[in-house]
């Protein structure tokens, strides 16, 4: 018997919404300008799945494919790189608009600023992005990975020249380890996409960096005649990506925002637990957080993102691993005529969830609550490609995590 998808409607009391301006359009434009200065920058594809939309009974289904991002197979580099630029700009009392790729890699910057060491904890993609950006910009990186991390992801980080370790603790403990080491290091900086009391500025910059992806997706939808998505599904670990996406599209459509659905791995569903409690306070999930969705295996929410999500999300959904595995298979072997999207374990959960909601009446209550029908225009984010080749084969070739 497969585990059931769990969901809760958002009935939390609203806060004063003080963090929504973080994702204002002019703030995201700064990040987009910075990223576009990189020679490796290009807009990642928006896969239009007309055949799948028709099969599922939707008006349109669109998947932002981040497997093409900077050649790194995941979106995470957007956050870490922009946070580095903002940090260096702050240290030098300059505007971030001056922090172009050419300037950050110049002899002039090396002489004026020198070197910093950027510390982070990661399940793979964020650490690789931080390591890559540090390497490209002539800085240093130290990366700690939690117990059970993939060897392939470890090697990808090491290739970027970072000092990387796999520790015998979970992700949240690795975050604390990185913070402690940074505090003891000259020019040591924590670049972490979660926030806690007293550590809020850099996570804010990371979220704004993620806004580049949301901004591109909004533009791409308009280019194909979809002025506004009716529904946006976005996955969450600590919730930084979810807060960035929800914040950006709420600012883009202030009078008529899409319905937002936040999805988590069931083993690490801290946002769902917070929404279920219903009092507006965040909740923590601890333990090993064992899930196929390694990038979502985070039990302590980003408090900045949580504030945005509690005010604007329609439903929080806790997804068993089979949901992601199903999504990987559906995107990898699409309906005839649709483009193939190679999506990893943390990237495909949206596809698996929308299929589960639309294909059977088991989740009809959620379908009805969200108003999903043949007029709905649904946006998903495939946040990573094939970042763990052995796991990817086991799911697609061997049928690991079946749906029955």
Please tell me the pTM assigned to this model.
0.96
Residues 6 or more apart whose CB falls under 8 angstroms from that of 45 comprise 64, 65, 68, 339
User: Does the pLDDT at position 124 exceed 90?
Assistant: no
Q: What is the dihedral of CA 114, 71, 74, 356, to 10 degrees?
A: 170
pLDDT of residue 293: 96
Residue ranges with strand state E in 67-214: 117-121, 140-145, 163-166, 188-190
Q: Assess if residue 403 is contained within a domain.
A: no
Final residue belonging to a domain, choices 198, 213, 237: 198
The model's pLDDT over 317-351, given as tens digits with 9 standing for 90+, comes to 999 999 999 999 999 999 999 999 999 999 999 99
| Distances from the Cα of 104 to the Cα of 32, 117, 159, 336, angstroms | 16, 15, 21, 45
Q: Assess if residue 248 is contained within a domain.
A: yes
**Segment 247-254 mean pLDDT:** 98
How deeply is 390 buried, as exposed, middle or buried, from its count of CB atoms within 10 A (0-12, 13-18, 19+)? exposed
Q: Assess if residue 1 is contained within a domain.
A: no
Same domain? For 379 and 272 the reply is: yes
Residue-number span of the structural domain to which 82 is assigned:
77-198
pLDDT of residue 288: 86
Do the bridges between strand 46-48 and strand 60-65 make them parallel or antiparallel, or are there none, so unpaired?
Answer: antiparallel
Final residue belonging to a domain, choices 180, 198, 216: 198
CA distance 377 to 321: 25
pLDDT of residue 228: 98
Tell how far CA 164 is from the center of its chain.
Answer: 21
CA distance 24 to 76: 20
Do the bridges between strand 117-121 and strand 6-9 make them parallel or antiparallel, or are there none, so unpaired?
Answer: unpaired
SS3 171: helix
Q: Assess if residue 70 is contained within a domain.
A: yes
CA-atom Rg of the chain in angstroms:
20
pLDDT interval class at 193 (50, 70, 90): confident
Q: Assess if residue 233 is contained within a domain.
A: yes
Neighbours of 299 (CB within 10 A): 21
Q: Assess if residue 404 is contained within a domain.
A: no
How deeply is 389 buried, as exposed, middle or buried, from its count of CB atoms within 10 A (0-12, 13-18, 19+)? exposed
**Is the Cβ–Cβ distance between 307 and 349 less than 8 Å?**
no
Same domain? For 281 and 177 the reply is: no
CA distance 20 to 24: 7
CA distance 214 to 276: 27
Same domain? For 16 and 98 the reply is: no
For the chain, what percent of residues have pLDDT higher than 70? 100
pLDDT of residue 77: 96
pLDDT interval class at 195 (50, 70, 90): confident
The model's pLDDT over 268-321, given as tens digits with 9 standing for 90+, comes to 999 999 999 999 999 999 988 999 999 999 999 999 999 999 999 999 999 999
Same domain? For 114 and 68 the reply is: no
User: Does the pLDDT at position 175 exceed 90?
Assistant: yes
pLDDT of residue 56: 98
For the chain, what percent of residues have pLDDT higher than 90? 95
Same domain? For 188 and 325 the reply is: no
| Residues belonging to the active site | 76, 123
Please state whether 10 falls in left (phi above 0), alpha (psi between -120 and 50) or beta.
beta
Same domain? For 37 and 113 the reply is: no
Final residue belonging to a domain, choices 173, 198, 223: 198
Tally the domains of the chain. 2
| Distances from the Cα of 279 to the Cα of 8, 15, 175, 275, 369, angstroms | 13, 11, 27, 8, 21
Same domain? For 260 and 180 the reply is: no
User: Does the pLDDT at position 260 exceed 70?
Assistant: yes
> Can you give the CATH number for the domain in which 105 is found?
3.40.50.1100
Same domain? For 234 and 168 the reply is: no
Q: Assess if residue 83 is contained within a domain.
A: yes
User: Does the pLDDT at position 1 exceed 70?
Assistant: no
Find the helix packing angle between 201-223 and 25-36, rounded to 10°.
90
Residues 232, 83, 134, 289, CA torsion sign: negative
* Per-residue tokens: 383: 């946040």
Q: How high is the mean pLDDT of the chain?
A: 96
The model's pLDDT over 27-82, given as tens digits with 9 standing for 90+, comes to 999 999 999 999 999 999 999 999 999 999 999 999 999 999 999 999 999 999 99
Q: Across the strands, what pairs with 380?
A: 63
* Per-residue tokens: 382: 């495939």
* Per-residue tokens: 20: 């929504």
pLDDT of residue 98: 96
CA distance 275 to 395: 31
Neighbours of 1 (CB within 10 A): 4
Same domain? For 163 and 114 the reply is: yes
Same domain? For 99 and 228 the reply is: no
pLDDT interval class at 192 (50, 70, 90): very high
Same domain? For 226 and 363 the reply is: yes
Same domain? For 36 and 85 the reply is: no
* Per-residue tokens: 352: 């698996």
Q: Across the strands, what pairs with 382?
A: 65
């Amino acid at each position: 018997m497969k585990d059931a998808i769990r969901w809760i409607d958002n009935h939390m009391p609203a806060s004063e919404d003080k963090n929504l301006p973080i994702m204002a359009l002019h703030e995201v434009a700064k990040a987009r300008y910075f990223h576009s200065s990189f020679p490796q920058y290009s807009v990642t594809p928006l896969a239009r799945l007309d055949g799948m939309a028709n099969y599922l009974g939707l008006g349109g289904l669109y998947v932002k494919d981040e497997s093409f991002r900077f050649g790194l197979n995941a979106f995470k580099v957007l956050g870490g790189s922009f946070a580095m630029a903002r940090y260096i700009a702050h240290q030098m009392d300059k505007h971030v608009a001056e922090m172009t790729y050419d300037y950050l890699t110049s002899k002039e910057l090396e002489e004026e600023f020198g070197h910093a060491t950027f510390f982070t904890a990661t399940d793979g993609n964020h650490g690789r992005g931080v390591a890559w950006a540090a390497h490209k910009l002539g800085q240093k990186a130290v990366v700690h990975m939690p117990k059970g991390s993939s060897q392939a992801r470890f090697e990808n980080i090491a290739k970027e020249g970072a000092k990387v370790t796999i520790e015998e603790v979970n992700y949240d403990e690795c975050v604390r380890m990185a913070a402690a080491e940074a505090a003891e290091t000259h020019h040591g900086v924590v670049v972490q996409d979660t926030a806690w009391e007293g550590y809020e500025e850099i996570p804010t910059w990371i979220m704004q960096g993620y806004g580049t992806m949301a901004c591109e997706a909004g533009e791409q939808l308009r280019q194909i005649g979809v002025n506004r998505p009716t529904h946006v599904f976005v996955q969450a670990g600590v919730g930084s990506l979810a807060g960035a996406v929800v914040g950006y599209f709420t600012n883009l459509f202030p009078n008529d925002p899409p319905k937002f659905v936040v999805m988590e791995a069931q083993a690490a569903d801290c946002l769902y637990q917070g929404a279920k409690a219903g009092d507006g306070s965040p909740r923590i999930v601890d333990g090993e957080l064992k899930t196929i969705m390694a990038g979502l295996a985070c039990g302590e929410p980003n408090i900045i993102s949580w504030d945005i999500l509690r005010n604007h999300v329609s439903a929080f959904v806790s997804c068993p691993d089979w949901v992601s595995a199903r999504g990987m298979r559906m995107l990898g072997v699409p309906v005839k005529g649709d483009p193939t999207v190679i999506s990893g374990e943390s990237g495909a959960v949206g596809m698996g969830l929308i299929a589960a909601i639309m294909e059977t009446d088991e989740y009809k209550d959620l379908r009805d609550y969200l108003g999903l029908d043949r007029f709905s225009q649904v946006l998903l984010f495939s946040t990573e490609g094939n970042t763990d080749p052995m796991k990817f084969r086991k799911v697609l070739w061997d049928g690991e995590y079946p749906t029955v």
